[in-house]
Amino acid sequence: MRRIVVHLSIGILMVCVALAMQGCPCPPEDEEPTAEMAAMGETDALTGEDIALTDPPEEVIYIEPTTPEFETIYFEFDQYRIRGADEMSLGRIASYLREHQDVRVMIEGHCDERGTNEYNMALGEQRALAARRYLIGLGVTAARLSTISYGEERPIDHGSSEEAWATNRRDEFTVSQ
Amino acid sequence: MQRSRTRNVAGAALVLALLAAALPGPATSQVRLSITKGFGEKVIVAIPLFRGGRGTLVNAEDVRTVLRFDLETSGYFSAVENLQFVDEVEADDRLTGRIDFVEWNALGAEVVVKGEITGDLENFSIEASVHDLAQGQGIMARRYSGKPRQWRAAVHSLADDIVRQLTGEPGIATSKIAFVSDVTGVKQLYVMDYDGENQTRVVKDDLMSMYPDWFSDKDRLVYTRFRGSRQEVYVVRTTTGEQARLTSFPGLNAFVAVSPRGNEYLMTLSRDGNPEIYRLASDGSDPRRLTFNKSTESSPRWSPDGRRVAFVSDRAGSPQIYIMSASGGTAERVTYQGSYNTSPDWSPKGDLIAYTARVEGVFQIHTVDVNTKEVVRLTTGGGHKEDPSWAPDGRHLVYSVRSGGKSDLTMLDIYELEPLQLTSGGGDYLSPAWTP
């Protein structure tokens, strides 16, 4: 029996919602979600594809992803203050956590390459802690939120341009345990 | 000096089994050089080719090259340049069986280091003697023995003994530098000799490792390791690679500094919700918080007497260097120039703190005098210089220099300011820590 399995990506849906409400909160070089959206069409999250009639699918199953893709948030140079543009992203993470009480989140803080290696490790932690404090403020239990700093060690964009730096100054959120 | 990238696979080979024995003769260990040198003046040393070496795996020319490098790098010596004249006088000495002090003086030499290499393919000995040419007397005589792979270490020991004997200051030739490199694709812990030789990987796994610091035994290192989604601090024995976890607190477990006596640590933790400085017992337990600020407190380093702490804080709006008691309490700001001063390291002599400061967009190495607050900029030019670490002589620094998209380690004599690049392996060489 052949099955078509469609994985709904919360991350992609969230970006779509964010786009509709306030424009893209991400830096322009954060192409991944928008590229996928382009492939799916501008308005619909799901799209169809022609398949050979000789082998029709007998069943279509929709599976809600077990691992949500939380949105990355970004920071100004040398800052760890949460930007207004990212408050909705954090709000959505908080609401997901309210609905999934068994989920714990690891917050990874990252920096661009411009500070010293050493001090960036502390700055990355401050970025992670800033998001943690914000989520606690939205009612998430502190024990469900861990932090780790990678300083400037794990850039998304290895370039040395303003765009690359903006992409790299970020918090990433992943489900832990 | 050749910088062959020979890796000493057997870490245990770095454990020296050198036998330094005083030879019978007129030399005594108390004698110092009769010449008094002013600040910056160098002792002129003649280094004739050591005799012997045939039938051993120790090459006399290599011995001379390393000895000369060591003595000159110490900052206290300058070698007689004309080796042909040096070797001719030495040949005459061997014929007559005595030291022709007049001829040596004519070369401009103030001391001469003579030696002989003996042994076989399994073992070697280097016997060396140092003579004060003004007084016409011996200063020291020693024998260094070991396995062939230890010949460089033997020469380094000889150099350090000469430096200590003639200047009373500790040498650095036998010192080592721990660092982090990503040549394997992941930042890993390495140890090398002070001259960049014998680079040896300490821990053989693929976990990202950073911020090494030495124990006073010059064998164990403490460092931060990224395991899973945690920062953890480990203590590793560099000669064997065996290690044990020290801390695994939530959040930051970074910038660990071993106390001068090796029985306590300072480090940055964020377990209470903000990066703060903590003091921990020797087993990593009982973290005692030393700072209480909403700002970022980071990068603690002990003063050599273990009573004070240099650290970074952005409590005044930008990262600056502060000092406080190792028990905590009021902190005193010591840097006021510029808006980005980080990575302090307290000189083993106690007077200076080296650090990284951003000057016109480029990180440069500086020192600040703990008492007078006088700032001296040590480096210039493009390329970020970061993470200075003091040599045990309180005179040399090692730091990373970024150039062409990668970082290498460079040594600097703070009185002479001629940088000497120690690594060139492709990839990044970072976070150097000189043995205490």
CATH for B132: 3.40.50.10070
- The answer to whether A170 touches A156, Cβ cutoff 8 Å, is yes
Q: Are residues B235 and B377 in the same domain?
A: yes
What's the token pair of residue B169? 């200051």
pLDDT one-digit tens code per residue, B295-318:
999 999 999 999 999 999 999 999
Interchain contact, B270 vs A147, CB within 8 Å: yes
CA-CA-CA-CA dihedral for B404, B226, B258, B236, to nearest 10: -100
Look at residue B280 and tell me if it is in a domain: yes
> Which residues does chain B have within 8 Å of residue A126's beta carbon, measured at their own beta carbons?
274-275, 296
* Alpha-carbon distance A107 to nearest alpha carbon in chain B (angstroms): 9
Nearest CA in chain A to B357: A116
pLDDT at B204: 87
> Which residues does chain B have within 8 Å of residue A176's beta carbon, measured at their own beta carbons?
229
Interchain contact, A149 vs B231, CB within 8 Å: yes
**pLDDT averaged over every residue in chain B:** 91
pLDDT at B304: 98
> Which residues does chain B have within 8 Å of residue A116's beta carbon, measured at their own beta carbons?
340, 342-343, 356, 363, 384, 386-387
Residues 6+ apart with CB under 8 A from B362: B381, B382, B383, B384
Interchain contact, A119 vs B275, CB within 8 Å: no
* Count of Cβ atoms closer than 10 Å to residue B325 Cβ: 14
What's the token pair of residue B146? 């070991």
B320-325 β-sheet, strand order: B297-302, B308-313, B320-325, B328-333
**How many domains does the structure of chain B reveal?**
2
Stretch B171-185: mean pLDDT? 96
Interchain contact, A122 vs B254, CB within 8 Å: yes
Does B24 score more than 60 pLDDT? no
A89 touches chain B (CB under 8 A): no
> Which residues does chain B have within 8 Å of residue A79's beta carbon, measured at their own beta carbons?
none
Q: Are residues B88 and B188 in the same domain?
A: no
What's the token pair of residue B84? 């042909």
pLDDT one-digit tens code per residue, B119-161:
999 999 999 999 999 888 899 999 999 999 999 999 999 999 9
**Alpha-carbon span B41 to B331, nearest angstrom:** 39
Look at residue B302 and tell me if it is in a domain: yes
Does A16 score more than 50 pLDDT? no
What is the phi/psi pair of residue B365, to 5°? -85, 135
How far is CA B398 from each of CA A154, B299, B410, rounded to the nearest angstrom?
25, 17, 5
pLDDT at B425: 77
Does A114 score more than 70 pLDDT? yes
Stretch A77-93: mean pLDDT? 96
Judged on CB neighbours under 10 Å (0-12, 13-18, 19+), B76 is buried
Of A119, A147, A148, the CB nearest to B312: A119
- If we measure between CA atoms, which residue out of B345, B350, B319, B322 comes closest to residue B334? B322
pLDDT at B310: 98
**Alpha-carbon span B345 to B302, nearest angstrom:** 8
Does A1 score more than 90 pLDDT? no
> Which residues does chain B have within 8 Å of residue A119's beta carbon, measured at their own beta carbons?
298-299, 312, 319, 340, 342-343
Q: Are residues B416 and B297 in the same domain?
A: yes
**Alpha-carbon span A52 to A30, nearest angstrom:** 35
Task: Provide the residue range defining the domain that includes A18.
Answer: 3-58+62-176
Q: Are residues B180 and B329 in the same domain?
A: yes
Q: Specify the CATH number for the domain of residue A152.
A: 3.30.1330.60
Q: Are residues B89 and B218 in the same domain?
A: no
Domain end marker among B136, B167, B198: B167
Residues 6+ apart with CB under 8 A from B78: B42, B43, B44, B45, B72
Stretch B187-200: mean pLDDT? 97
Look at residue B57 and tell me if it is in a domain: yes
Task: Provide the residue range defining the domain that includes B22.
Answer: 11-167
pLDDT one-digit tens code per residue, B25-58:
333 333 355 556 666 789 999 999 999 999 999 9
**Alpha-carbon span A160 to B406, nearest angstrom:** 13
A–B CB contacts, 8 A cutoff, strictly below: 83
* Count of Cβ atoms closer than 10 Å to residue B23 Cβ: 13
**Alpha-carbon span B42 to B364, nearest angstrom:** 28
**Alpha-carbon span B82 to A11, nearest angstrom:** 73
* Alpha-carbon distance A17 to nearest alpha carbon in chain B (angstroms): 30
pLDDT one-digit tens code per residue, B381-430:
999 999 999 999 999 999 999 988 899 999 999 999 999 999 997 889 99
Q: Are residues B295 and B401 in the same domain?
A: yes
Q: Are residues B159 and B203 in the same domain?
A: no
**How many domains does the structure of chain A reveal?**
1
- Out of A133-142, B2-11, B345-354, least confident range: B2-11
Q: Confidence class of residue A34 from pLDDT cuts 50, 70 and 90?
A: very low
**pLDDT averaged over every residue in chain A:** 78
Q: Are residues B321 and B356 in the same domain?
A: yes
Q: Are residues B114 and B240 in the same domain?
A: no
pLDDT one-digit tens code per residue, B340-373:
999 999 999 999 999 999 999 999 999 999 999 9
pLDDT at B192: 98
Does A67 score more than 90 pLDDT? no
* Alpha-carbon distance A48 to nearest alpha carbon in chain B (angstroms): 38
A176 touches chain B (CB under 8 A): yes
Interchain contact, A149 vs B255, CB within 8 Å: no
> Which residues does chain B have within 8 Å of residue A153's beta carbon, measured at their own beta carbons?
187, 208, 210
Q: Are residues B91 and B217 in the same domain?
A: no
Look at residue B1 and tell me if it is in a domain: no
